[in-house]
Amino acid sequence: MKLLFILGTRPDAIKLAPVIIEAKKQKKIKTFICLTAQHRQLLDQVIDFFNIKPDFDLNLMTSNQDLSDFTTEALKRVGEVIKKVNPDWVIVQGDTTTTFVGALCAFYNKTKIAHVEAGLRTHDKFSPFPEEINRALTTQLADIHFAPTKNAKKSLLKENIPPKKIIITGNTGIDALFYALKKIPKTIMIKKFKKIDFTKKLILVTGHRRESFGKPFEEICLALKQIAQKFPDLEIAYPVHLNPNARKPVFKILSKIANIHLLEPLDYPSFVWLMKKSYIILTDSGGVQEEAPSVKKPVIVMRNVSERMEGVESGIAKLIGTKKSDIVSSVSSLISSRNIYSRMIASRNPYGDGKASARIIKEIINA
């Protein structure tokens, strides 16, 4: 059996890496890996950590790339790879443009499609943009849907996907997290982040969503500034995304505040280690919303809608939007009240047990 994995971004690599590792254990499977390199630097960090060797590297990323240009070129090049490999299955993950392109090319070649992390929905086509439409279109193309949670399965059923084609697996991002936690060298990490005082409470921040660019992103930055000034004994670490629409307001508003550490984008193990060391996590990332419960950290989600409501429903995450006052209030309550903090971290992890990848490969073998 020939499997072709198509990935292009950091989330693709994180969530497909454990599936690739599991597939390579199987004697009856021949594995092929195609990188679009939609995000070159961030992707490379992850595939190096997981020791993934691509068979095809299309290297399609360009500076300030336009989604239309990327999609057009990726359709041509990925299609060529599929024709060359002639796989039994094309495997894609989540909701990136690479995911949709990979599924569409497989469809054009009448190749079966497995969609990992299927069924996430906000029901707002512009939030997240373009991910909501990418994953909805991929659903219409896929032959088997690996839903991470019961909620994801319910969404697929509402879209008339046959129940027998939906398998609840848990999220492969949790598999990747457990793998990373076993391999991260503690002493190297302490040296790497020597400017951060880990004897103090640490807030870890990520922010990069396109729908937040502009005024909402400025509100996030102003909230972080107020939090840093209100709690001078806190440390705030913010790995800043490479997109200039994120970097410009972040560095303009936050660069001269002593207890805010603006970092370049981190490799995957470094970020996982900082999650483990943090006290609170502020994010607009879907993957971080899934990972944080596994390391027992409360999550403040700086978005207006989320396709990952399981964390909110379980109590370990709060969906608060991007208003400065709401962000400051939510963080302040967690810092000031041990009872509120303890209730959040006592919540169960709704996203997985670290065995999703094995379930996925077993289902593909038996399909």
Cis status, amide bond into 130, omega within 30 of 0 = yes
Q: Based on the fold, state whether residues 210 and 236 are members of the same structural domain.
A: yes
Tell me, letter by letter, the H, E, C secondary structure of 17-74. HHHHHHHHCCCCCEEEEEECCCCHHHHHHHHHHCCCCCCEECCCCCCCCCHHHHHHHH
Mean pLDDT of the chain: 94
Q: Based on the fold, state whether residues 28 and 162 are members of the same structural domain.
A: yes
| Burial (CB count <10 Å: 0-12, 13-18, 19+), residue 40 | middle
Q: Based on the fold, state whether residues 22 and 148 are members of the same structural domain.
A: yes
Banded model confidence at residue 335, pLDDT cuts 50, 70, 90? very high
Q: Based on the fold, state whether residues 217 and 145 are members of the same structural domain.
A: no
Q: Based on the fold, state whether residues 266 and 138 are members of the same structural domain.
A: no
Structural domain contains residue 144: yes
Structural domain contains residue 202: yes
Structural domain tally of the chain?
2
Other Cβ atoms less than 10 A from the Cβ of 322: the count is 21
**Active-site choice (39, 115, 121, 131):** 131
Q: Based on the fold, state whether residues 13 and 83 are members of the same structural domain.
A: yes
- Under 8 Å CB-to-CB from 72, ≥6 apart: which residues? none
Task: Please report, for residues 35, 90, 174, 188, 285, the alpha-carbon distance to residue 208 in angstroms, rounded to integers and kept in the order given.
Answer: 22, 29, 21, 27, 8
Q: Based on the fold, state whether residues 237 and 111 are members of the same structural domain.
A: no
**Active-site choice (44, 73, 88, 210):** 210
**Active-site choice (12, 22, 117, 175):** 117
**Active-site choice (39, 145, 208, 308):** 208
**According to the model, what pLDDT value does residue 302 have?**
95
Structural domain contains residue 177: no
Structural domain contains residue 181: no
Q: Based on the fold, state whether residues 201 and 317 are members of the same structural domain.
A: yes
Structural domain contains residue 359: yes
**Active-site choice (241, 303, 308, 359):** 241
Q: What is the mean pLDDT of residues 116-140?
A: 95
**Active-site choice (10, 12, 39, 95):** 95
210 is catalytic: yes
Q: Based on the fold, state whether residues 111 and 214 are members of the same structural domain.
A: no
**According to the model, what pLDDT value does residue 188 have?**
67
- CATH number for the domain spanning 70: value is 3.40.50.2000
Q: What is the mean pLDDT of residues 116-139?
A: 95
Stated as kind and residue range, the H or E segment containing 293 is none
The region that residue 123 occupies, defined by phi over 0 for left and psi between -120 and 50 for alpha, beta otherwise, is left
Give the type of residue at 55: D
Print the domain residue range for 119.
Answer: 2-171+353-366
241 is catalytic: yes
According to DSSP, the residues that pair with 34 across neighbouring strands are 6, 56
Q: What's the pLDDT tens digit per position in 35-86?
A: 999 988 889 989 999 999 999 999 998 887 889 999 999 999 999 999 999 9
- In this predicted structure, the answer to whether residue 183 has a pLDDT above a threshold of 90 is no
Q: Based on the fold, state whether residues 98 and 166 are members of the same structural domain.
A: yes
Distance CA 22, CA 158 (A): 31
Distance CA 131, CA 94 (A): 8
Structural domain contains residue 176: no
Percent of the chain whose predicted confidence (pLDDT) is above 70:
99
DSSP 3-state assignment of 334? helix
Q: Based on the fold, state whether residues 37 and 104 are members of the same structural domain.
A: yes
261 is catalytic: no
348 is catalytic: no
95 is catalytic: yes
Which range is least confidently modeled, 17-31, 99-113, 210-224? 210-224
Q: Based on the fold, state whether residues 163 and 33 are members of the same structural domain.
A: yes
Banded model confidence at residue 155, pLDDT cuts 50, 70, 90? very high
290 is catalytic: no
Distance CA 105, CA 109 (A): 6
Structural domain contains residue 361: yes
Structural domain contains residue 180: no
Q: In what order do the strands lie in the sheet with 202-205?
A: 260-263, 235-239, 202-205, 280-283, 299-301, 317-319
